[in-house]
Amino acid sequence: MNNKPTLHTSFSPSLINLYDVSNSIVVIIDVLRATSTIATALYNGAKFVIPVDSVSRCIELGKQISAITAGERDGKVAPGLEYGNSPFEYPREFIENKTLVLTTTNGTRLLQMVLEKGANEIITGSFPNLSAVCNHLIKKKKNVILGCAAWKDRVNIEDSLFAGAVIANVKDHFNINCDSSTASEILYNNAKDNLFGFMHTNNASHYHRLMNYGLEKDIRYCLTSDGANVLPEYEDGKLFVR
């Protein structure tokens, strides 16, 4: 063996308790679309993105700190909120120097879970900020847990693909003895030449959900690397870029 740090992949919030999050960098992955939108808003100059777990908390906090509130339920802006989950709603001219309070279900829940388990180094990952995530993980030389937010605890293809993309880029720097990581990388290698086509051909469940909402443009953007290449770090309830 060698002194490389370890890397594990958790396919679902239901599996995260199998891993030692307190001693690792945890990457929260919610490709369609929470973590892609977080990267985009921060890339475009948002001061903070504050993830919250409910619409009511989003409304309350938005009022309290005069922030923009955003979140969707069933593909529409949730009643009481101002904006949705699309990365295209947050161009620089709109979001620069502002704070966005964003309610998401799967991603925020996983974030809360790892916080409760003692995680103290949390970042968010998505294809739009793939390189920033990989570079950070390589530089830090710490154990890593790639935490897929999944869909209501069910494993999804797109978060697994992103885990695989990270692994394909960083694997020489880690000891990886984790079948979920292996499976993710194989999936990614099958898909990498055309991620959108792969999601379509393989009938990915969330792909279909979003296509039915007319969100093909969002999906294509969320599957494209480095369009918003910043590193969102979580501290004291907020995501921001150092």
Is 54 or 201 the residue whose CB approaches a copy of itself more closely? Answer: 201
User: Please, what is the minimum distance in Å from the beta carbon of residue 206 to a copy of itself?
Assistant: 8
Is 59 or 146 the residue whose CB approaches a copy of itself more closely? Answer: 146
Is-contact 13 109, C-beta < 8 A? yes
Is 152 or 217 the residue whose CB approaches a copy of itself more closely? Answer: 152
In the three-class reduction of DSSP (H, G, I as helix; E, B as strand; rest coil), residue 66 is classed as coil
Burial (0-12, 13-18, 19+ Cβ within 10 Å), 60: middle
User: Please, what is the minimum distance in Å from the beta carbon of residue 180 to a copy of itself?
Assistant: 5
Question: Beta strands 76-77 and 68-73: pairing type?
Answer: antiparallel
Query: Count of CB atoms within 10 A of residue 93's CB?
Result: 7
User: Please, what is the minimum distance in Å from the beta carbon of residue 192 to a copy of itself?
Assistant: 13
Q: What is the spatial distance between Cα 219 and Cα 214, in angstroms, rounded to a whole number? A: 10
HSE value, Cβ hemisphere, 13 Å, CA-based, for 121:
16
User: Please, what is the minimum distance in Å from the beta carbon of residue 155 to a copy of itself?
Assistant: 5
Cross-strand bridge partners of residue 52: 103
Is 61 or 168 the residue whose CB approaches a copy of itself more closely? Answer: 168
HSE value, Cβ hemisphere, 13 Å, CA-based, for 191:
28
Is 75 or 237 the residue whose CB approaches a copy of itself more closely? Answer: 75
Is 10 or 44 the residue whose CB approaches a copy of itself more closely? Answer: 10
174-186 burial, b for 16+ CB within 10 Å, e for fewer? Answer: bebebebbebbbe
User: Please, what is the minimum distance in Å from the beta carbon of residue 148 to a copy of itself?
Assistant: 11
Enumerate binding residues for a copy of itself (CB under 8 A): 11-12, 14-15, 18, 151-157, 160, 176-180, 182-183, 186-187, 190, 202-206
User: Please, what is the minimum distance in Å from the beta carbon of residue 171 to a copy of itself?
Assistant: 11
- Cα 135 to Cα 24, 29, 166, 188, distances in angstroms: 16, 16, 10, 19
Strand segments, DSSP code E, in the chain are: 7-10, 25-29, 48-52, 68-73, 76-77, 99-103, 122-125, 144-148, 233-235, 238-240
Is 99 or 184 the residue whose CB approaches a copy of itself more closely? Answer: 184
